[in-house]
Amino acid sequence: MRSRRLPPGQREVKKVLLRHIGSIPLFDPKTWSLTIYGEVEKTSTLTLDGFLALPRVVSISDFHCVEGWSVLDNEWEGVSFQTIVKMAKPKEGVKYVTFECDDGYTTSLPLSELLQDDVLIAHKLNGESLEPERGGPLRLIVPKKYAYKSAMWLRKIRFTSERELGYWEKKGYSNTADPWKEDRYAKKSTA
């Protein structure tokens, strides 16, 4: 039954709605790059062709927005985040990864959560290249989190020993973003 696949407080819609914090960044495939850096043994800067040459995976997952809508059975194609970790070789003590995007957006997640099999850097959705309005050319996909953790227009991946608050987290949204716990907003301190 499809309703059992919906986290509490979510309703199913048929298409991912367009949401972003500002203008859609311009994309020039000739000058675009993805930088992987921070507390790693190997810093890398990949062109789009270089990224597309990496081993690719297809993953079908659900997409849950903090606004209360979900799109089920999205077919994402891209590079497993595990591949990025193998390339970068994080140094001892690295526990987090911060994602930096073309529009200034950031978010951070624990490395342990990013190592799950369904987490990827996607360049296709349902067999089509990601359009700029959907976060293309590359976006992070973290199916077990609310969509604001699936950063669009990805340009930099920074490995860190300390967790950083991202764009929405600084505005009061939950840093853990678990849709199954309806973990939408940061807990207020009672002290």
Q: What is the domain partition of the chain in residue ranges?
A: 2-13+28-181
pTM of the model: 0.92
Contact at 8 Å (CB) between 130 and 138? yes
- Mean pLDDT, the chain, as a whole number? 92
Alpha-carbon separation of residue 59 from 21, 23, 127 (angstroms): 26, 28, 11
Q: What would the CATH number be for the domain defined by 2-13+28-181?
A: 3.90.420.10
Residues 40-94: tens digit of each pLDDT: 999 999 999 999 999 999 999 999 999 999 999 999 999 999 999 999 999 999 9
* Interstrand relation of 154-160 and 96-101 (parallel, antiparallel or unpaired): antiparallel
The answer to whether residue 190 scores a pLDDT higher than 50 is no
The answer to whether residue 189 scores a pLDDT higher than 70 is no
User: Tell me, what's the pLDDT at 3?
Assistant: 54
Residues 5-51: tens digit of each pLDDT: 899 999 999 877 677 777 889 889 999 999 999 999 999 999 999 99
User: Tell me, what's the pLDDT at 191?
Assistant: 42
Residues 153-174: tens digit of each pLDDT: 999 999 999 999 999 999 999 9
* AA letter at 86: K
